[in-house]
Structure formats: structure tokens, C-alpha cells
Amino acid sequence: MKKLEFIPVSQPDVTGNERNYLNECIETGWVSSVGSFVTRFEEQFAKVCACPYGISVNSGTAALHLALRVLDIGPDDEVIVPALTFAATANSVLYQGATPIVADCSTHDWNMDPAGLEDLITPKTRAIIPVHLYGTPCDMDAIGSIAARHGIPIVEDCAEAHGAQYKGQPVGSFGTMACFSFYGNKVITSGEGGICVTGDPELNQRMRLLRDHGMNKQRRYWHDEVGYNYRMTNLQAAVGCAQLERMDEFIAHKRWVKGQYQQGLQGLNCLLPEDPPETKSVFWLYTMALPEHCTEQARDELIRFLAERRIDSRPVFYVLTDMPPYQHLQGHADNARPLSARGITLPSFNGLNEHHIARICGAIREWFKKTE
């Protein structure tokens, strides 16, 4: 019998100009962190976010850390982060010696819930980091007005939401700063990489200084501050530029995938992602929750059941405060916990076709029948 094709959750599509641009780097010798692709990538990506400045770095985590560093966030400061996110959001706060405060999520968009947000604000709150989880924009009107009322800067974590829009405006343009990741499984990739975008010329200058060891731009080997090596290479930027040319195509495919799953999973009583008209989600990784009676064990069983059929899937992020490094943190996760326990991420890579999706939905239906 022919072995079934393995269906991964995610897989980068680097079949465009990546090879040409990388060859150009090698032929010209510009392989490190100076080169035309770095500037081009920064300018083009900032434009996508309707922001004047883009500061490329070597990871999404570096972007978040740099953003908090230039806001001078430190010990004694609090930063509000959502309960459901990839851990890097909270880690960047801890790197600065500050305290993450955990905001619960809404069951509609799985994002930071504006309803409980104001109660978490104290005189120590120095920033709010909304995360556009799985590519779906947060309620930026509500979060933005709370932040504005208290004069607290917003740093958007857009690591999963390249190209997403809230009321026609691109994510990345709502906060004082916004951070993106270009890790291999993100909407577009540069291998590893990240970027900060901002409209503030002073923050832009300081981030450029700090990503390059804090070294003065006019006086070589003179250090104005203790900085980092957070630079992106021209090789990474070359891949990023090629990916950017295809970003709209990638997003259109992800939105198509979401429609296909919605049809294929109809009637199973799962909590499928919403797609309200005021937002344009990019559905980075298609993620849904199993019916309410399902436990975390049942969810993990489904993951194994799919794996036996050569279909890759993932659990949703664990609630931050359920994990040892974050257990001591204050906050709420009553909505987040059941979503995390019952949540599952299904394949969404660019080559995923209707036959794959039929196989995936068929296997899920088979599992539902078996467990009935």
C-alpha cells in the first residue's frame, strides 16, 4: 500500500525569488548585516504597516525586547500581556526585570479582553502588549481607548498577524510600536528575524543604536548605551524581500483554508474562528476549540489520532500562569483556560489543497464518531 502523504501544520514556501536574491548576496559579498536588502526590507515592510520606520532585528523576541527597552521599562514596572500567547511576549517583559500582568482573553477573538483590562491597570503599568493571536486583530478601539485614557503606550505583538487589518487599518499601526516575527512558520519568513515598526523618529533612532551594540553611528567603537547584537543579516532580508512579494497570495490562501475548514467541519459543534466584517484576520494557523464536553485529554487524544493518520496538529498555547516560570504572576485566565485545553491548531501551509483538507476533516469526523 502506498504510504499516506504527511500533512504538516506549517511549512515555509520559499519557491519565489528567494534563491535569486540570496545568490545576489553571495555574488556581491554582502552576506552580513549591511546590504541593500536590509534597507529595502525595512522600507517595504514598514509601508505594509502604514508606519514611517521599520527597524529589522534577528527575531520577533528581539523586536519585543528592544521595544520595551526603548520605553525604559524596568524593575518595579508592570506590563499587561494576554493569558494566551506564545511565551516570548511575557519573556521580553521579564528580560527587562519588569512584571507581566496577565489579562484574560475574550471567547470571541481569543485576544486580550478589553472588558477586564482596566481593572489590571495600576500606577506601575508602563505598557500594554495586545497580541493579535493566530492572525486575528484585537479589539483595538476598546484597548486603544483604555490605554489612551491612562496614558499607557501600546506595543502590538503582531508576530502572527502580518497583513491583518482592523477596520481597514493594518495591524502594526495602532501602537507606539509594533513587533513582528519572521520565524519559519510565520505568515512570511526570513528564516529567523523580526522587525519593530513605529511612527516615532526618536524611538526609531534609539532602536537602531541599541540593536547594534549601542554603538554611536558617527563615532565608531564609541558606545552611548549598553546595546545588543540584534541585527538582521542581508541574507535574511533577501529572503524577507522575496517573501514580501508573495505576502498577499499567502494571506489569500490562508483565508481560503479557513473557509474550507468551516465547510468541512460543519455540524461538529466545534468553536470555529469568527470572521467579523470589521476585521480582516489572516488566519495564520487555523485554530478551533473542541465542544465544551471535551477535556484536554480528549484533545490530546485527537492530536494522536490525527498523527496516526499522518496529519500534523498542535495544541493551543498553554495559559501563561499554568506554566512554572509564570505561575507567580497576577492576573486572570478564566476564559483562556478552557480554550487552551480544548483548542487545536490544524494544518494551514501554503501548499495545503482541498484534498488535504478533506482528509483532515474526514479524520476529525471519524474521531468524533468513535468518541460519541
Ligand X SMILES: *Cc1c(COP(=O)(O)O)cnc(C)c1O
| Among the residue ranges 42-50, 84-92, 99-107, 267-275, the one whose residues contact ligand X (CB under 6 A) | 84-92
Which residues ranging from 44 to 63 are in contact with ligand X (CB under 6 A)? 59-61
Nearest approach, Cβ of residue 149 and ligand X (Å): 25
Contact between 181 and ligand X (CB under 6 A)? yes
Which residues ranging from 149 to 168 are in contact with ligand X (CB under 6 A)? 157, 159-160
Tell me how many residues contact ligand X (CB under 6 A).
14
Contact between 85 and ligand X (CB under 6 A)? yes
**In the complex with ligand X, which residue's Cβ is closer, 59 or 340?**
59
Say if CB 257 and CB 249 are below 8 A apart: no
Nearest approach, Cβ of residue 284 and ligand X (Å): 8
Stretch 235-254: interaction string toward ligand X, x if CB under 6 A: --------------------
Q: How far apart are CA 218 and CA 64, in angstroms?
A: 26
Tracing cell 548605551 back to the chain, one arrives at 225
Q: Judging by beta carbons within 10 Å of its beta carbon (0-12, 13-18, 19+), is residue 205 exposed, middle or buried?
A: middle
With CB under 6 A as the contact rule, the residue among 89, 96, 198, 335 that binds ligand X is 89
Nearest approach, Cβ of residue 187 and ligand X (Å): 10
Which residues ranging from 315 to 334 are in contact with ligand X (CB under 6 A)? none
Which residues ranging from 188 to 227 are in contact with ligand X (CB under 6 A)? 194
Contacts of 241 (CB under 8 A, 6+ apart): 17, 21, 37, 40, 41, 44
Q: How far apart are CA 325 and CA 322, in angstroms?
A: 9
**In the complex with ligand X, which residue's Cβ is closer, 56 or 260?**
56
**In the complex with ligand X, which residue's Cβ is closer, 194 or 264?**
194
Which residues ranging from 112 to 141 are in contact with ligand X (CB under 6 A)? 131
Q: Which residue is nearest to ligand X (CB)?
A: 60
How far, in Å, are 36, 60, 145 from residue 181 at the CA level?
A: 20, 4, 26
Contacts of 258 (CB under 8 A, 6+ apart): 273, 275, 281, 283, 286
Longest Cα pair distance anywhere in the chain, in angstroms? 71
With CB under 6 A as the contact rule, the residue among 22, 80, 81, 88 that binds ligand X is 88
Nearest approach, Cβ of residue 349 and ligand X (Å): 16
Binding-site ranges for ligand X (CB under 6 A): 59-61, 85-86, 88-89, 131, 157, 159-160, 181, 183, 194
